[in-house]
Structure 1
Amino acid sequence: MAVVFLSGVALNAHAQSSVTLYGRIDNGIRYESGLPTGHLFTASSGDWGCSWFGLRGTEDLGRGTRAIFNLEGQLDTMTGASEGALFSRHATVGLANDRFGTFKLGNLGAGELSQDSWPVDPQMMQRYSIETLVRARNWASASNGFEYQTPTWGGFSLKGQYDLTNNTGWNSASSATGQGRSDGIEMLYQFANAGGRVIYDEIRGADGSFNDVYAHSRSLLAAGAYSFGPVRVYAGYQHLSAPNATDASVGVASSTQPAGVSAPTQVDHEWIGAAWRVTPATGIMAAVYHANANHGNGNATLYTLGGTYDLSKRTFLYAEMAYVRNSATSNIGLSDGPYGNNDYDPATNTASNGNPNYGHAQAGAFVGVMTAF
């Protein structure tokens, strides 16, 4: 249960403020095969969704306007360690008004627009989901930013973001942040049984260019969902573009690549799927994702099947299985590994990442429990 502190504001009798402590904990067990070093059986945190805690507050300023803030951090709840800075996910303050919209300023973090794609993903951006074949590009984050979201007009709304580099070079990063300039715009719509969104966002590299299609690129995503009684169907498309990408800019040696393969500058990504609420407590989700990259990098297809079972309004069990199949010159894995060869050394049984060998597949499954407070 959220802990809420309500207090009157002494200098303004009509004003009221509140602060809410909230969070969630997700722990489970995962098994994956097809890794360059063999099979992996591990205890894991965050396979269904990140574990986090935060503070969210509001103060009534009168005339329909509220001051708002949000502080949120991410945890590895298997070890108790913080994932990144204390409030790496959100650290914002702003103003909200039902007639004029919402403005936020600060570390937008996990609020970067690409992360808004989870409502149009049948697997809701679990470990095996929309983000897998694009090597975590949909988990982009950004700091030093500001955001404005309009009110909802007849089911439609708009959201825009802009993130500064804090550097004298307009697009390139300062040594303090390492973040190139980023920006984006999102259009959302929601009707009785349908919802969808179009998201365009740009994430630049430290040199100010689009130099890695899976990290520093332009992204255009259009997707939607429609409900038929207890079944909700999903479909979507995403195009990634990084015209400045080279083998050097993505950190791979040309000699380690298959013949005729170099760093991709474009990726096309499509998916379809469905979620079925079998009973009030039980849900089943299935989806197929496909991605094709240029410059000889081939294609990959991800097949997923998952389910949830609600133990209460706050706690549920979850499970998901996945299989990713690669064409001869593709090596996308289930672990969001970076682009490039896994550099497997059989003498020491070590690899630089969890990508499968080129043309090989990977399979995985996990189960766990999530509780929120």
Structure 2
Amino acid sequence: MKKTLCALALIAPLYHVAYAQSSVTLAGIIDVGINDVTNAGGAHQYMMSSGVNNGSRFIFRGIEDLGGGLKSIFFLENGFNVNNGTIGQGGLLFGRQAYVGLTSDRFGSVTLGRQYDSMVDYVGQLTAADNWGGYISAHPGDLDNFNNSYRTNNSIKYTSPTFSGLTFGGVYSLGGVAGDATRNQVWSIGGGYAGGPFNFGVAVLNARNPNLSFFGNNSQTPLTASTANGTVTPVYSGFMSAHSYTVIGAAAAYTIGGSTVSVSYSNVRFSDLGDTSSGPNPSHYTGTAMFNNAEIAYRFRPAPDWLLGAAYDFTDGNGAGGNGGARYHQGELTAQYFLSKRTTVYVLGVYQRASGTDSTGKPAVAAINLLTPSKSDTQGVIRVGFRHKF
């Protein structure tokens, strides 16, 4: 008995130390507001929506110090609709992110699970939508995934340490199809630099059979891109028979005082159209459909409790099978007032004009991201919102 008591007395402090070097944190965002949409399917619409400026979410983040500079980490991020309490991302419990892994200050981190791709990590964060505009300010249909409409399932991710402001990394998702290692696979690589007033990011993203592996992964069952993100997106829903989807993107930002100017560019390709094992092809497309997108944005902090923003985005589409493609002009404005470090009220406006022929082979209509598309070539929305971080 005495030996047992002595042993417990010796190891008890060790348990205390291990516990002190581990932590689990709960955090999150609640974002809700009222939208006034000029043309939603042909009619004026007033609606309440959740998670526009930032997706409403709660997060469990954990870390354990293993010694020698090595730590184990986990991250569980749930998306939800504050209007009615339902789960987001098609009903996935942790549909935003869910991963576990190891991290080292010297060697970087390796994580496994459902994660963001390199386009999101290194390029998207420098654009207007990720900084202040939210998902309705994303590029049409978020066609380049700069605003993180789609995550990567079954993924292995490496993130480097920071070397004098430079970081890099990559993501690989296993397709899991017997006898075909490349089917449904997704990969991305990228890098970024942050030093003084200058920030820069570049990345490449590729998804095989993207209708199933990428666009349809926001639900418990495979969906086509026309419904996977909650609404019909004629910007590219007609190209779901693509064998592969590739994005090359770059962005840069420069800050002087309270002003930040940023620019971004993406080239998006839906290649080898006509693979009906990937998705439907009602227009019988073949070949490649391509989009080029360019954005310029300006953010101004006239005072610590104010943020003003403006951006212009242009998307030029080259269609397939004789489809001349569609063009989209989009502008965004915002004013945000910070009641505290955690609570913000804001006004956001977006206007879009479309022309040409969209992916469905019809005259292009305006289609602001995640809103019901217009019945005409123009669409506008004004949102008054409230956001709280905890």
Q: When the two structures are superposed, what TM-score results if normalisation uses the length of structure 2?
A: 0.79
Distance in 1 between residues matched to 2:24 and 2:49, nearest whole Å:
31
Q: 2:31 aligns with which of 26, 35, 46?
A: 26
Asked if structure 2 preserves the Cα contact closer than 8 Å seen for 1:323 and 1:361, the reply is yes
Give the SS at the match of 1:128.
helix
AA partner of residue 202 (structure 2)? V
Partner of 2:114: 107
Partner of 1:258: none
AA partner of residue 204 (structure 1)? R
Q: 1:159 aligns with which of 150, 169, 186?
A: 169
Partner of 2:48: 43
Q: Say if 2:149 is the partner of 1:121.
A: no
Pairs aligned (count): 336
Once the two structures are TM-superposed, the CA of residue 147 in structure 1 deviates from its matched residue by: 0.6
- Which is worse superposed, 79-88 or 14-23? 14-23
- Sort the Cα spacing of 1:154 and 1:160 in 2 relative to 1 into closer, same or farther, 3 A: same
Q: 1:221 aligns with which of 249, 258, 261?
A: 249
Distance in 2 between residues matched to 1:216 and 1:192, nearest whole Å:
38
Q: 2:102 aligns with which of 95, 107, 119?
A: 95
Give the SS at the match of 1:327.
strand
Distance in 2 between residues matched to 1:13 and 1:140, nearest whole Å:
37
Per-residue CA deviation, residues 12-51 of structure 1 (Å, 9 max, x unaligned), is: 6697100001111001000111233311110110111110
- Which is worse superposed, 296-305 or 127-136? 127-136
Q: Say if 2:340 is the partner of 1:334.
A: no
- Sort the Cα spacing of 1:20 and 1:327 in 2 relative to 1 into closer, same or farther, 3 A: same
CA RMSD of aligned residues (A): 2.8
- Bigger Rg over Cα: 2
Distance in 2 between residues matched to 1:291 and 1:247, nearest whole Å:
25
AA partner of residue 365 (structure 2)? N
Q: Say if 2:384 is the partner of 1:367.
A: yes
AA partner of residue 164 (structure 1)? L
- Sort the Cα spacing of 1:76 and 1:319 in 2 relative to 1 into closer, same or farther, 3 A: same
Distance in 2 between residues matched to 1:136 and 1:75, nearest whole Å:
23
AA partner of residue 161 (structure 1)? V
Once the two structures are TM-superposed, the CA of residue 186 in structure 1 deviates from its matched residue by: 1.0
Partner of 1:292: 316
- Sort the Cα spacing of 1:214 and 1:47 in 2 relative to 1 into closer, same or farther, 3 A: farther
- Sort the Cα spacing of 1:308 and 1:252 in 2 relative to 1 into closer, same or farther, 3 A: farther
Q: 1:193 aligns with which of 188, 197, 207?
A: 197
Give the SS at the match of 1:77.
coil
More helix as a share of residues: 2
Question: Equivalent residues in 2 for 1:132-281 (5 A)?
Answer: 132=140, 134-135=142-143, 137-138=145-146, 139-168=149-178, 169-172=180-183, 180-205=184-209, 212=240, 217-246=245-274, 251=280, 253-254=282-283, 265-281=289-305
Once the two structures are TM-superposed, the CA of residue 202 in structure 1 deviates from its matched residue by: 1.0
Q: When the two structures are superposed, what TM-score results if normalisation uses the length of structure 1?
A: 0.82
- Sort the Cα spacing of 1:8 and 1:106 in 2 relative to 1 into closer, same or farther, 3 A: farther
AA partner of residue 181 (structure 2)? W
Q: Percent identity?
A: 28
- Sort the Cα spacing of 1:270 and 1:229 in 2 relative to 1 into closer, same or farther, 3 A: same
- Which is worse superposed, 197-206 or 212-221? 212-221
Give the SS at the match of 1:312.
coil
Per-residue CA deviation, residues 269-308 of structure 1 (Å, 9 max, x unaligned), is: 0000100001110010100000011121131110110121
Distance in 1 between residues matched to 2:20 and 2:66, nearest whole Å:
6
Unaligned runs of 5+ in 2: 1-11, 216-238, 358-363
Distance in 2 between residues matched to 1:208 and 1:130, nearest whole Å:
22
AA partner of residue 237 (structure 1)? Y
Once the two structures are TM-superposed, the CA of residue 212 in structure 1 deviates from its matched residue by: 3.8
- Sort the Cα spacing of 1:325 and 1:215 in 2 relative to 1 into closer, same or farther, 3 A: farther
Distance in 1 between residues matched to 2:386 and 2:214, nearest whole Å:
41
Asked if structure 2 preserves the Cα contact closer than 8 Å seen for 1:55 and 1:70, the reply is yes
